[in-house]
Amino acid sequence: MSLTIGQVLSGARWGYCITEPLTGDGSHAALVYKARVSPGSTTSVNEQDMPEWAVIKCPSPLRAQRDFTRLDLKREWEAYQHPSIANSPYIRKLYDLIGNPEDFDDKTGETRPCLALEWMDMTLQDLTPKLDKRAYKLIVAIIEAVMESILCFSEAKVVDTDTKPGNFLLSNIDTDHPTVKIGDLGLVLPCTHPRTNVQPLPMRAPEVFLGFPCTTKSQVWSCAASLLFWLKPSLLGSSSDDGDGLRGSCIDVLPTPWCLAKLRRLFPAWRDRPVAGDVRRKAEWALSEDHLEELPAPLKRIGCLEEEMGRLGMVRELRGVMGLMLVTDPKERFGPREVLASGEMRALREVVSTGGMDLDEE
Enumerate binding residues for Mg ion (CB under 5 A): 28, 167, 184
Residue 118 binds ligand ADP (CB under 6 A): yes
C-beta closer to Mg ion: residue 185 or 246: 185
C-beta closer to Mg ion: residue 28 or 265: 28
Residue 95 contact, options ligand ADP, Mg ion, none, Cβ 5-8 Å cut-off depending on partner type: none
Per-position DSSP letters for 28-60, written without gaps between them: --SEEEEEEEEE-SS-SGGGTT--SEEEEEE--
265 and 294 Cβ atoms separated by less than 8 Å: no
Nearest to 90 by CA among 171, 20, 32: 171
Q: Which residue's C-beta sits nearest to ligand ADP?
A: 28
Residue 92 binds ligand ADP (CB under 6 A): yes
Residue 167 binds ligand ADP (CB under 6 A): yes
Instruction: Bin 237: left if φ > 0, else alpha if -120 < ψ < 50, else beta.
Output: left
Residue 88 binds ligand ADP (CB under 6 A): no
What's the closest the beta carbon of residue 125 comes to ligand ADP, in angstroms?
7
What's the closest the beta carbon of residue 153 comes to ligand ADP, in angstroms?
16
Residue 59 binds ligand ADP (CB under 6 A): no
* 118 Cβ contact partners less than 8 Å away, ≥ 6 residues apart: 51, 54, 55, 92, 93, 94, 95, 181
What's the closest the beta carbon of residue 237 comes to Mg ion, in angstroms?
16
Residue 345 binds ligand ADP (CB under 6 A): no
C-beta closer to ligand ADP: residue 99 or 183: 183
C-beta closer to ligand ADP: residue 33 or 334: 33
Nearest to 169 by CA among 145, 151, 193: 145
What's the closest the beta carbon of residue 196 comes to Mg ion, in angstroms?
21
75 and 188 Cβ atoms separated by less than 8 Å: yes
Element (H, E) at 65: helix 63-79
Residue 55 binds ligand ADP (CB under 6 A): yes
Residue 218 contact, options Mg ion, ligand ADP, none, Cβ 5-8 Å cut-off depending on partner type: none
C-beta closer to ligand ADP: residue 95 or 334: 95
Chain-centroid distance, C-alpha 337: 19
- DSSP structural state of residue 91: B
Residue 92 contact, options ligand ADP, Mg ion, none, Cβ 5-8 Å cut-off depending on partner type: ligand ADP
Q: How far apart are CA 207 and CA 15, in angstroms?
A: 45
Nearest to 85 by CA among 158, 173, 162: 158
C-beta closer to Mg ion: residue 167 or 256: 167
**Residues 119-148, mask of contacts with ligand ADP (x by CB under 6 A):** xx--x-------------------------
Q: How many CB atoms lie within 10 A of CB 94?
A: 19
Q: How far apart are CA 223 and CA 338, in angstroms?
A: 14
Stretch that binds ligand ADP, among 115-123, 236-244, 245-253, 263-271 (CB under 6 A): 115-123
C-beta closer to Mg ion: residue 136 or 168: 168
Backbone angles phi, psi at 264, to 5 degrees: -70, -25
Q: CA 347 → CA 111, 197, 271, 343, 357, distances in Å?
A: 52, 35, 30, 6, 11
For ligand ADP, how many residues bind (rule: CB under 6 A)?
A: 22
Q: Using CB under 6 A, pick the residue from 59, 99, 178, 186 that binds ligand ADP.
A: 186
Q: How far apart are CA 101 and CA 93, in angstroms?
A: 18
Contacts to ligand ADP from residues 3-42, by CB under 6 A: 22, 24-25, 28-30, 32
Residue 30 contact, options Mg ion, ligand ADP, none, Cβ 5-8 Å cut-off depending on partner type: ligand ADP
Site residues for ligand ADP per CB under 6 A: 22, 24-25, 28-30, 32, 55, 57, 72, 92, 117-120, 123, 166-167, 169, 183-184, 186
